[in-house]
Amino acid sequence: MLATLRTAATFGIDAYPVDVEVDVSDGGLPTITMVGLPDASVRESRERVQSAVRNSGFEFPQRRVTVNLSPADIRKVGAAFDLPIALGVLAASGLLPHRRLDEAIVLGELSLDGAVRSIRGTLPIAARARRDGIRDIVLPAANATEAALVSGLDVVGVNSLQETVAILSGRQPRPPTPSPPITAPHHTNPAHSADLADVKGQALARRALEVAAAGGHNLLFVGPPGAGKSMLARRLPGILPPLTLDEALETTAIHSVAGLLPPAAGLLTAAPFRAPHHTASNVALVGGGSLPRPGEISLAHNGVLLLDETAEFARHVLDALRQPLEEGAIRIARALRTAVFPARFMLVAAMNPCPCGYHDDPVRVCRCTPQQIDRYRGRLSGPLRDRIDLSVWVPAVPFTAIAMAAPGESSAFVRRRVFAARDRCGEAADHIRSVRTNEYLYVKNFYPQRPHLMPSNYKDSKIIVKRLRELHADDKLDPLAEKLLFSPTRPAEELYLYGEDRWQVKNLADDPKRAKVLKQFRGRLEEWIKETGDPGPETLEVYFLETEDQMKSTRNSASRENYRKN
C-alpha cells in the first residue's frame, strides 16, 4: 500500500515542499530503503523511525518498506523527516487514515521512545505553507509558537508519535493554535540591557554613536587599549528603535534557520547584536557549508555587527564584508542552487592604532616601527574603509577625569532623540544632485516620476504642510506653488540662471540656446559621480518598495477632499 505526505525543507532561508512517499509491499526481505538523495542524517532515520514506532505501541511492518523523498534531485538534510516517514509507514500499513494526511504539512524529529523533538527553520516553512494555500501544519510542540507567527495557519503542536496518531485519527481533539508573544523579551540579548550612562566622558564618541544609530551608519572606533571602544559599541543596540514587522519576521526567520530561537519565542523585535571573535573564519562570518547556513553578518541583519580588535581579523575575512556591505545580502553558490541570505547590518569596528596600541598616546610610549604600523593598519583595506561612514578617535580618559565626571545620558534618553531623528528622516527617500557656478545652477532629478512634496508622516504633521494642503484643496495656491508642490512629476533636469533667478522659477533646460551649457553641466556631474563613486541614498528597488504605496494614494487621489481628510 502507498501513502503520501507533505513536508518541507529549507535551503538558505527559503523553504521548498517535499513529498514523502512510503510504500509497504510483500515482495522481498523485510527492510527499509530510502531514495531521493537523503544525506546521512536522513538515512539514519530508518533506525529512529523503527524504534519510535515500536516504543509508541505500534507494530512495525515486517515487510519491504520503500521511502521516496521528492523532488529527487535535491539533497535532503536533517531529521525533520522522521515524523512524516513514521506516519507514512503507519498509513501504508492501514493504521492511519490517508485522508487526514492529505490536509497538512508534517515536520518533526523523533527520539527512540517516540517523543517529537524540535527542528530548525519552522518560520520559513510555515510561511511557505501559507503561500501554497495549506492551512494545517503538524510539528513539534516546541516549535508551535514560532509557526503561529504566520497568520492563517492551524498549528498542531505535538509531543509524541502516539499523540500525533491519536489527533490525526480523530480519537483526541486538536490542541488550539498557540498565541505567540508579540515580542521576545530584551533580556534575551544582554547588549540591550547595557546602558550608555555607564560611559563617563568620551563625548565625541558618544555623539558619533548617536549619529550612527540615527542614520544607520557604519562606524570605526580607533584608540588605545582601555579607552572604552568596545564598551561604547556594545551599547549601540540599546539606542536603536525596534524592528518593523517585516524586519522582525525576516530576522526571526534567519535565527530560526540557524537554530538560535529559544522554545516558545515570539518575534525578535529588538535589533540583533553579534560580536564574533577575531579568529572567526570566512565561513563563520559570511555563512556557508555544504548546506548553506547563515553567518554572523546575516545573524546581525537589521542590527549591529561588532568586530572588536578589527585589525586582528584575517584580511581575507574582512574583505569578504565588502560585497554584503554594498548590496545588503550575501550569495552562497552551490552546485545546483544559490542561497541568498539578507545581510543589511550596521558595522561597528574597533581597533588599536598600532600593534602595541599606544601610537600617538600622550602618556605611554609606542615601540612599534613604521613598517609594523603600516602592516597593522593595512589589514583594513581601502575598499572596506570606503564603506565606513564615521571614523572616530577614542582617546584614553585619565582615571581622575573618570572619577570626577558626571554620569552620562542614559540609553533611554538618547534613544528618544534617535527615534525623533528617524521619524523626521526615515521616510525621506530621494536622489538629487546639483552643480552650481556663479552663473548657473544645474539640478539632476534621478526620480523625475516623483513630486517635490514627497509623502512623509513627519512633514505632513506640521502646520505649514497642512495649510498648504488646505490651500491646494480650495484652489487658492498660485500656479507656480501648485506646480512645484502638487504636480505628480518633476523635470529630469533643471537649469537656472543662479544670479538672476534665485528662486528657481524659470527652468532653462528645454531652451535650445542653453543646450551646450546643459551638456557641459551634465558632463561635470557625471564626472564627479565617477570620481567619488557616489552611490545615491539607496537602490532603486528599495526606493520603490518604501514609497510606492504612499505615492499611489497621493497621485491617484480621486478628489481634493482627500487632502482635507489628511
Query: Do 336 and 444 have their domain in common?
Result: no
Residue 348: inside a domain, yes or no? yes
Residue 356: inside a domain, yes or no? yes
Beta strand pairing call for 304-308 and 346-351: parallel
Query: What is the structure's pLDDT at 76?
Result: 87
Residue 525: inside a domain, yes or no? yes
Query: Do 243 and 373 have their domain in common?
Result: yes
Q: List the one residue out of 429, 428, 432 whose CA is nearest residue 529.
A: 432
Residue 175: inside a domain, yes or no? no
Query: Do 245 and 389 have their domain in common?
Result: yes
Query: What is the structure's pLDDT at 306?
Result: 96
Residue 11: inside a domain, yes or no? yes
Alpha-carbon torsion angle 269, 275, 280, 282, nearest 10: 50
Query: Do 12 and 141 have their domain in common?
Result: yes
Instruction: State which of 368, 393, 424 marks the end of a domain.
Output: 424
Query: What is the structure's pLDDT at 555?
Result: 44
With cell 521576545, the residue in question is: 184
Instruction: State which of 424, 455, 484 marks the end of a domain.
Output: 424
Beta strands in 115-266 (DSSP E): 116-117, 136-140, 154-158, 219-222
Query: What is the structure's pLDDT at 189?
Result: 58
Query: Do 408 and 439 have their domain in common?
Result: no
The string of pLDDT tens digits covering residues 146-188 is 999 888 899 999 999 999 999 988 889 988 888 766 554 444 4
Query: Do 413 and 467 have their domain in common?
Result: no
Instruction: State which of 139, 169, 199 marks the end of a domain.
Output: 169
Query: Do 376 and 268 have their domain in common?
Result: yes
Mapped onto helix, strand or coil, the DSSP state of residue 69 is strand
Query: Do 52 and 164 have their domain in common?
Result: yes
| Cell numbers standing for residue 428 | 525621506
Domain containing 555: what range? 432-565
pTM: 0.74
Q: HSE-up of 184 (CA within 13 Å, CB side)?
A: 27
Residue 81: inside a domain, yes or no? yes
Residue 176: inside a domain, yes or no? no
Query: What is the structure's pLDDT at 560?
Result: 40
Residue 178: inside a domain, yes or no? no
Beta strand pairing call for 440-445 and 493-497: antiparallel
Q: Are 349 and 339 in contact (CB under 8 A)?
A: no
Query: Do 191 and 135 have their domain in common?
Result: no
Query: Do 280 and 414 have their domain in common?
Result: yes
Query: What is the structure's pLDDT at 542?
Result: 46
Query: Do 409 and 510 have their domain in common?
Result: no
CATH code for the domain of 39 = 3.30.230.10
Query: What is the structure's pLDDT at 191?
Result: 59
Alpha-carbon torsion angle 296, 7, 263, 295, nearest 10: 0
CATH code for the domain of 220 = 3.40.50.300
Q: Kindly give the parts of the chain with pLDDT less than 50.
A: 184-188, 538-543, 545-547, 549-551, 553-566
Q: What is d(CA 551, CA 518) in angstroms, rounded to the nearest whole number?
A: 30
Query: What is the structure's pLDDT at 556?
Result: 47
Query: What is the structure's pLDDT at 158?
Result: 95
Beta strand pairing call for 64-70 and 31-35: parallel
Domain tally, the chain: 3
Query: Do 51 and 190 have their domain in common?
Result: no
